[in-house]
Structure 1
């Protein structure tokens, strides 16, 4: 068997393979509640053979939503809308996971396909009105964007508890992994970066000060989530902007997260200014894998690699060469939800293996294959 399809045990949870569907926002919720779209969106990845599926950035408080379409977990009722999704993922042999986040100064925005900028009159006409936002410092995302309020001590305490309570709700809803969203310019990332954190108290200034609140949140989530279940952390390893923090700070932060009991670092980049894809990193196949490799090598922390991993043999090589412990397959899985099953066929030569494919699909596909073998190739 290939490394890609070897099980991986993290604490008391075993992933059946090393393929993880990472969080990809759908902006399709109503008042923070998940619906039929989310069940179909995530369920198809489980049917397609992923080892774990991480639900999109899920707001720990109402003001922490990126858009009006974000899902939330700030109440028991919101968690209840997520529970059927977790149950279905598990029924397919997939580990259900969820990302917990707060958008910070990048909250109260348009859905990407409606402009991806500040809410305006056309959004107001749809009922999408703005709300007050918060950040480490009163620095807006850009011209025309809302001015965030700088968080005071009471606000920091409130959000620490919001993340912890979200982790407790995620467990009650049936999720076996939570991931803390600390990347792409959202709240926790904006504490780390000197570009967005101009505080002069214990939560700013030095690298250690800027790391303090994200680390406290990670510790709070770890304490709130059951000890036998893993906690991941998604980190922008580089800011991707002039004046941003050096990569060495991320290595030090990863070491601190590991000491705090965080199990896996999900290694991304960019987003501190502009969109989450605006990192000044040259895009190529596997362009963010070196971040996962360095963190893993220098801290001994398990990592997940992400970023234009598109091919089964490429994914296998990432693992075989010791660059990461897991691979995240995002937009490729949107294009082909059966990517894991096709990767298995590519690496092992098996087709529609009944041990991997859902019986409801594999049986019919075997019948189809038998017919095609008799007919030979289609020639038009």
Structure 2
């Protein structure tokens, strides 16, 4: 008796068509919640529900916050290190990876080892990173920045607030700001030269050109850095802006630079499918009456949403050397540093914008998940834990009892 076995084609691991080398196609992004077969109606916890940002959808509410790693070469270009760094995180399931602060102008870097995006060569060195992330069916954004008076510093792993002079590739003679006010009186950073109106217009255009380069090489979103005491933040706050022209004085004048940057980025991108993010310094965390406060932020966010910003990345501090810890300013000292302020912003803007929160959110995933489910904010941006463990999303899933996430890897 002959037994005839029906022969069927074997399953095939299809290659991704995004990159030239072999990597398996990922039809479902890692980090996607899939209900178990025995409970197909099971709902994911808030942190693992998809969210739409403009026309872009991401599979969960855990994002990688932009983190400066001060590892670019002397031309401010990305190296294979950056591909390994971002690629190792992206394959393990965050909803979006935001690439670190990237200078839009030659004088705008935080350090001589920042990434830059003011020329096409710098853009092309970033392309392999974007392509790899897309080959894993994941999303990525880039944070565009001008450091203003805090430019030309040493990488923070060498020194905190130490000037990088010409001997190490710095540019102290080219450091600029809204006003000639140094970050720390008698400190190690230089007193900036006050920007002229024409120079301000040029930097606005630099933001737009960098945004276009970012989109041209495939980034899914662009974040404008308006926090941490860098140039946009410097213009907004009276602590660093004492101009008497159309960019200083009144609240409307001080936010003018920020709005012009947003408008230029939007015009340069010219693509409604690419959302614009803005990192916001919600407060200078200063006791000085001239400092930027939460009430200023509430007015600012109304303006920026009207100009096309779709995600608000809430942070604080960094614009004055003697700022107070955010936790000391919170009404509830048990909260992570920015939860209370993100909650206020979210209640103010409602569904007009996505609100992201930062600051030690990984320490208590159950609490962070409750914040998401209660509508306190929409997206948890986590930074340094991903440096310690690229699989931080997996750890959060485990602590929330999520066992049916889609992973690329399995244990043998």
> TM-score, normalised on structure 1?
0.89
Is the aligned partner of 1:223 residue 2:275?
A: no
- Structure 2 stretches lacking a partner, 5+ long: 1-43, 329-333
The alpha carbon displacement at 1:17 in A equals 1.0
- Give the corresponding residue for 1:375: none
The alpha carbon displacement at 1:346 in A equals 2.6
Give the 5 Å matches for 1:291-310: 291-300=341-350, 301-310=353-362
The total of aligned residue pairs comes to 355
The alpha carbon displacement at 1:140 in A equals 1.3
Provide the C-alpha distance between the structure 2 equivalents of 1:316 and 1:8, rounded to a whole number of angstroms.
14
Provide, for residues 353-377 of structure 1, a one-character-per-residue CA deviation record: whole Å limited to 9, x for no partner.
5x6211xx31xx1x2xxxxxxxxxx
- Report the more deviating stretch, 9-18 or 316-325: 9-18
Distance change >3 Å, CA 314–CA 105, structure 1 → 2: same
The alpha carbon displacement at 1:313 in A equals 1.4
Give the 5 Å matches for 1:132-143: 132-142=174-184, 143=186
From the CA coordinates, give the structure whose radius of gyration is larger.
2
Is the aligned partner of 1:88 residue 2:141?
A: no
Distance change >3 Å, CA 152–CA 40, structure 1 → 2: same
Q: Write 1 or 2 for the structure with the bigger share of helix.
A: 1
State the 4+ residue runs in structure 1 displaced beyond 3 angstroms. Answer: 123-131
- Structure 1 stretches lacking a partner, 5+ long: 368-380
CA RMSD in angstroms comes to: 1.7
Provide, for residues 79-105 of structure 1, a one-character-per-residue CA deviation record: whole Å limited to 9, x for no partner.
111111111112222211100000000
Provide the C-alpha distance between the structure 1 equivalents of 2:198 and 2:294, rounded to a whole number of angstroms.
31
- Give the corresponding residue for 1:235: 280
Is the aligned partner of 1:335 residue 2:388?
A: yes
The alpha carbon displacement at 1:229 in A equals 1.1
Provide the C-alpha distance between the structure 1 equivalents of 2:135 and 2:94, rounded to a whole number of angstroms.
13
- Give the corresponding residue for 1:282: 327
Distance change >3 Å, CA 279–CA 214, structure 1 → 2: farther
Provide the C-alpha distance between the structure 2 equivalents of 1:135 and 1:176, rounded to a whole number of angstroms.
30
The alpha carbon displacement at 1:286 in A equals 2.1
Is the aligned partner of 1:213 residue 2:257?
A: yes
The alpha carbon displacement at 1:128 in A equals 4.7
> TM-score, normalised on structure 2?
0.83
Is the aligned partner of 1:319 residue 2:339?
A: no
Provide the C-alpha distance between the structure 2 equivalents of 1:213 and 1:20, rounded to a whole number of angstroms.
28
Distance change >3 Å, CA 228–CA 342, structure 1 → 2: same
SS, match of residue 112 in structure 1: coil
Provide, for residues 102-135 of structure 1, a one-character-per-residue CA deviation record: whole Å limited to 9, x for no partner.
0000001111122122336xx6554556441111
- Give the corresponding residue for 1:2: 45
The alpha carbon displacement at 1:314 in A equals 2.3
Distance change >3 Å, CA 126–CA 260, structure 1 → 2: closer
